[in-house]
Chain A
């Protein structure tokens, strides 16, 4: 028996729907994605049930069984659709939702149980297109009322969120796409009329995979979705199409079938094209903003340095008695002003290093140097500070001498010093231990272990970002730019190395590992992009 073309599409549709369900759930671990995952499973069951119903036409017992199965799936889907709309509109915490949502699930469950009885659908009739279906019974009528009510609620919520002035653009967009998806889904709902003897050519089967794709698009990170999934879907659709022609050459698609396929391809193509363009524009905009930001910080930093140099210079001269002997009472505040200006200058310098990093203007001067000597130099620089705080400062020398490393000694030292300074700054009792070793014969590992405030696990990645600081660090030392580790990480990354941190948590201390390749192919000179115009003449 030949079946209409859209029926054959049910099987690849089921596969596709299961795929997008998993895709969406694996990509974004939010509740709405989990709901959508279950919704996809329901749809897949529905699609397979429909296919088996068609292929079993003639065997009434099987037809009734599969029709009940697909109704069972539909009963599962209604509360999920309603729930998804609430999640997307952020309405789950509303009073009405707290009553309606459990009600939707309970009723859905009751109807699902009912589908297994003759009170929902029973008896089989045959119609053109080689199809067959069961007759609707009392339960089916009530089910339709239930379905229309809750789907209307969902539509209402989504529409309101989409048109709302108060919602964020992102939420509105999400609601808009979900609304589109639900409209497509409702179009597929005309299939329900079959139980009442109103027959359509089953082209509406195509709306189920379309619905899943649109919802995935709405609730997954859009750029990711377009970049990977839409392409996959498009290629998949073309493959299905081509292989259908190849394996079922006698298959009569009919004008409707052809039109459906054509529209499907057209929609996915245009979506893909549109979002590729949007993506390009967004990227350009982001780059422009980031460039403006770094230029702004750089200009501000230069402008800040002049008055700061004046404050620093004059207070230093007053302090030294250049303007007459300074009374004891005044010398204390003058010293404070001087120290404050110096620490502010350091912050400005930090800001400048970051903007330079972001513009790729840091120049590396690689040569072979001794890590051992460098570490001893670092220790000398901070020895006094550790002593003043009453902390120990140990260097556990490796048993074997360390090989010399090729890199920019100044930059690597800068990175080590930033971490070492932090270790002393954020340690109250105990001290700091530095050790160095050769790792996998290709890297040198410098470990800086302190007994300080520690770093919470969820922060161990974030602290390396610019302007980011650990919670415990802020409590102990409110000032700070959050740039030290960012600069350190960037300098080490320029040497193809990496910095990692290990901490057992609050007050358990932390250990920073700096891994530097012994012979890194580092970029010795980076392109300058911002030479003052007068120098270009």
Chain B
């Protein structure tokens, strides 16, 4: 079973994506902020990370920087899923290796699942 790590502090949204992904046969883990995500990620070795940008404590961008220090995480694809819609952040994310940058409100959960499937295969 493929493992997805969702880094998202809005419970209402993380629950939503978790529900949909589990229904599609994924195992879903959730972290609320970057350091917690690194810890969970190191332990569980996810197949893909769904990353929010506006997180408590530090920006999601920092995950993209920090993950490079860990063997377990540095090759795990990251899908940025945020409502923060800013060209600078987008470019920075792609520069740091994010596979895609989607705006949460512009997509239904099933479209996100499709994207995740596309990225894992």
Contacts and interface: CB of A to CB of B under 8 A. Distances in A.
A281 interface: no
A312 B106 CA distance: 9
Given A322-B19, A535-B92, A309 B105 contact: yes
A317 B16 contact: yes
Contact of A310 (B13, B54, B59): B13
A1 B85 CA distance: 82
Contacts of A530: 86
A317 B20 CA distance: 8
A313 B108 contact: yes
Max chain B Cβ within 10 angstroms of own Cβ: one of A308, A312, A361:
A312
B75 interface: no
Nearest to B90: A363
Interface string B10-54: 101100110110010000000000000000000000000000001
A159 interface: no
Given A306-B13, A316-B110, A531-B88, A345 B61 contact: no
A361 B16 contact: no
Given A352-B85, A528-B87, A532-B86, A316 B108 contact: yes
A305 interface: yes
B105 A305 contact: yes
Contacts of B12: 306-307, 310
A313 B54 CA distance: 19
Contacts of B13: 306, 309-310, 313
Given A361-B86, A528-B88, A535-B92, A312 B105 contact: yes
A305 B104 contact: yes
Interface residues of B, number: 28
Contact of A534 (B17, B20, B62, B106): B62
B58 A312 contact: no
A305 B52 CA distance: 13
Contacts of B58: 534
B84 interface: yes
B104 A306 contact: yes
A314 interface: yes
A320 interface: yes
Nearest to A363: B87
A535 B19 contact: no
Interface in A255-312: 302, 305-310, 312
Interface in B72-116: 83-89, 92, 103-106, 108-110
Contacts of A528: 87-88
A345 B105 CA distance: 7
B87 A361 contact: yes
Contacts of B108: 312-313, 316
28 contacts: A305-B105, A306-B12, A306-B83, A306-B104, A306-B105, A307-B12, A308-B105, A309-B13, A309-B105, A310-B16, A312-B105, A313-B16, A314-B16, A316-B108, A317-B19, A320-B110, A345-B105, A345-B106, A349-B106, A361-B86, A362-B87, A528-B88, A531-B88, A531-B89, A532-B89, A534-B59, A534-B61, A535-B89
A-B complex: 8 closest residue pairs judged by Cβ atoms? A305-B83, A534-B59, A309-B105, A316-B108, A309-B104, A305-B105, A345-B105, A313-B109
Given A305-B104, A317-B109, 9 more contacts: A305-B83, A306-B12, A310-B10, A314-B16, A349-B106, A352-B85, A361-B87, A532-B59, A535-B88
